[in-house]
């Protein structure tokens, strides 16, 4: 029996220049796929028309090429979510026909006001205001509505390859979630599932901040009748305040990094973070001294890659003297 070909993907949102955390995602997903003899595809998640810009797509591709992270397919045309509406349309119709969706007119402000305070990441758990609510339907007739999917009152179980078994009760973790916004924009959860399915993705490798999303996505895979990929999340790169790296950490975006480091040095730093290279004599296994960098290529790392080496704890990026000096 022939084994199914592994297809991994990198699915960046071109809302700015890639930062070190994005490059870490690219590298880990690349190495996971390539170490199994698989393909690595590039999907551009440019659904947010306001924030995504064509120039960021160009920069992203140039930065990946500079780093030696060459994708096998994708990066343009049908691999851009902005060109894939018809596929999302079809999936949404299927869910509508199954009676799993309903229109929602709640505004963000209403939801914020209604949500109970909880120590969270700012996520709103939808309280179900518009579900089975004929009054709201009558009241809002003719007004553009968002579309939500009804989540079942059951626990979704999945086994993440790196973080192990997960049990997520969607009803209490996120509630009925959005598939399409009232302005017509497709929601990430629907688009990502349709794309991973139609692009034949067999493994989803990304930061652990998307573990909850994996449960939402697995639920959608099942109701749409698609074969789900395996999920493999990895720890986040954080700044010294313990916050996930983001566009605000400008010192770590590719523009700034390329002024300070060669491609081989950037890959080498990330390989240390990923546990693939020894950490240069530092006492902390989750940090690396950037002044002891032996450049390497992504291809050098393929034979070294093993999930058992990758830490599960988030990684604090040390912006060290060399970074400040240059
Ligand atoms: N586009 C998402 C991001 O850049 C990644 C989504 C995914 O990997 O599923 O954060």
pTM: 0.93
Ligand 1 center to 210 CA (angstroms): 8
Ligand 1 center to 105 CA (angstroms): 27
Q: What is the number of the ligand 1 atom nearest to the C-alpha of 9? A: 8
CA–CA separation, 272 and 304 (whole Å):
12
Judge contact between 38 and 9, C-beta under 8 A: no
- What residues flank ligand 1, with Cβ below 6 Å? 11-13, 45, 192, 206, 210
Q: Using alpha carbons only, give the angle 178, 139, 96 rounded to the nearest 5 degrees.
A: 35
Ligand 1 center to 247 CA (angstroms): 14
CA–CA separation, 158 and 232 (whole Å):
11
The DSSP H or E segment spanning 222 is helix 211-224
**231 pairs with which residues across the strands?**
204
* Chain segment 68-124, per-residue pLDDT in tens: 999 999 999 999 999 999 999 999 999 999 999 999 999 988 887 776 655 456 788
Closest Cα to atom 6 of ligand 1: 11
Q: What is the mean pLDDT of the chain?
A: 91
* Chain segment 39-77, per-residue pLDDT in tens: 999 999 999 999 999 999 999 999 999 999 999 999 999
**15 pairs with which residues across the strands?**
none
**Confidence category of residue 284, pLDDT binned at 50, 70, 90:** very low
Ligand 1 center to 225 CA (angstroms): 22
Closest Cα to atom 7 of ligand 1: 11
């Amino acid at each position: 029996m022939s084994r199914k070909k592994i297809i991994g993907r990198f699915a960046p949102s071109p809302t700015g220049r890639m930062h070190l955390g994005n490059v870490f995602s690219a590298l880990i997903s690349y190495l996971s796929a390539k170490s199994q003899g698989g393909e690595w595809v590039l999907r551009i998640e440019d659904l947010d028309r306001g924030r995504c810009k064509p120039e960021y797509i160009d920069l992203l591709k140039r930065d990946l090429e500079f780093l030696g992270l060459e994708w096998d397919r994708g990066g343009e045309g049908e691999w851009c979510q902005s060109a894939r509406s018809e596929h999302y349309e079809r999936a949404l119709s299927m869910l509508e026909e199954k009676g799993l969706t309903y229109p929602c007119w709640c505004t963000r402000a209403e939801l914020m006001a209604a949500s109970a305070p909880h120590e969270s990441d700012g996520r709103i758990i939808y309280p179900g205001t518009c579900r089975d609510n004929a009054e709201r339907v009558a009241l809002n007739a003719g007004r553009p509505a968002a579309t939500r999917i009804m989540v079942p009152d059951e626990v979704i179980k999945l086994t993440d390859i790196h973080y192990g078994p997960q049990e997520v009760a969607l009803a209490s973790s996120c509630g009925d979630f959005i598939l399409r916004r009232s302005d017509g924009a497709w929601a990430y959860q629907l688009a990502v599932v349709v794309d991973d399915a139609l692009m034949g993705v067999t493994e989803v490798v990304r930061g652990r901040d998307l573990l909850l999303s994996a449960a939402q996505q697995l639920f959608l895979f099942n109701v749409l009748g698609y074969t789900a990929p395996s999920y493999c999340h990895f720890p986040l790169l954080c700044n010294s305040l313990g916050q996930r790296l983001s566009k605000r950490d400008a010192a770590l975006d590719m523009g700034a990094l390329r002024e300070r480091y060669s491609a081989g040095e950037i890959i080498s730093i990330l390989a240390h973070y990923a546990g693939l290279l020894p950490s240069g004599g530092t006492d902390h296994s989750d940090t690396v001294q950037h002044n002891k960098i032996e450049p390497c290529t992504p291809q050098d790392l393929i034979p070294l890659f093993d999930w058992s080496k990758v830490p599960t704890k988030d990684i604090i990026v040390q912006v060290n003297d060399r970074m400040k000096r240059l």
